[in-house]
Amino acid sequence: MIYIGIGANLGDREKTLQEATDILNAKPEIAVVAASAVYETDPVGVVDQPYFLNAVLQVHTSLSARNLLNCLLAIERKFGRLRETRWGPRTLDLDILLYGDAIINLPGLQVPHPHLHERAFVLVPLCDL
């Protein structure tokens, strides 16, 4: 199973999460098979920013982990994601949390997500699935 973390704390957060999920599911090489509940969570790192909405998606895909990451980054850009401040506010955040049982350590791609075990905002929704 492949799990993707999805979150947003700018704009219409709920609409963004739904639209991003729909975009993923519309791709022929990706099928969203389950979604966790959506949780409102405190920001991590830079705490002086709006609350996040976070969820986890379970997907099947024929894409490699690298190509899936490229797809997620393109969707983030479509929603106006800017990477100006580490742990800063974001219109959309999509992260590969787990890619089956793969362990990947490449520049720009680490799976399992290196901070997965530290972040209740993904662990709690992951437990939903």
pTM: 0.90
Give the integer Cα–Cα distance in Å for 128 and 48. 28
Q: Which fold has domain 2-128?
A: Alpha-Beta Plaits (3.30.70)
Active site residues: 81, 90, 93, 95
Give the integer Cα–Cα distance in Å for 61 and 65. 9
Q: 102-111 — which CB contacts under 8 Å span 24+ positions? A: 102/65, 104/65, 106/66, 108/69, 109/65, 109/66, 109/69, 111/65
**Contact residues for 127 (Cβ-Cβ < 8 A; gap 6+):** none
Q: What are 22-79's pLDDT values in tens digits?
A: 999 999 999 999 999 999 988 877 667 889 999 999 999 999 999 999 999 999 999 8
Number of Cβ within a 10 Å radius of residue 64:
13
Q: What are 70-123's pLDDT values in tens digits?
A: 999 999 999 887 666 666 678 899 999 999 999 999 888 999 987 888 787 888
